[in-house]
Amino acid sequence: MNATQIRPLRSQADYDAALAEFERYFDDEPAAGSAEADRFELLGLVIAKYEDEHFPIASPDPVEVIKLVMEGRGYTNKDLAAVLGSAPRASEILNRRRALNLDQIRRLSRQWKIPADTFIGQFEQA
């Protein structure tokens, strides 16, 4: 990477060079407002743009999110049924026979403190 100019990253080599330079700042972060701090910030922006374009992160699967939250917090199917309104509805959702509706998303978000946009991913029905 050119020592005086930051430019868009167009190849893996450009990305690797920018990342190596960016990582050097981790041990000795530049003073806020300095030219080096500006360079550090700009490097971070071009790296993030390249990563967004070349290494996209897929949206989480809503059912997998529910299962992970249940496992992590020790919730049971009965706990999910209480939020969704019925055991059959909870079962249908966990078994991918029914997608979450907006009201259910709102209740899960409010009661289980999960961002609502987490549930607006790809839902694959069985």
Enumerate the domain spans of the chain.
12-54, 62-119
What digits encode the pLDDT tens for the residues 34-72?
A: 999 999 999 999 999 999 999 988 778 899 999 999 999
Percent share of the chain, pLDDT over 90: 75
Q: Report residue 1's pLDDT band, with 50, 70 and 90 as the boundaries.
A: very low
Residue 95: predicted pLDDT: 95
- Segment 74-81 shows an average pLDDT of 97
* Angstrom distance (rounded) from CA 68 to CA 10: 37
Q: Report residue 2's pLDDT band, with 50, 70 and 90 as the boundaries.
A: very low
56: phi then psi, degrees, rounded to nearest 5? -65, 145
Does the domain made of 62-119 have the CATH classification 1.10.260? yes
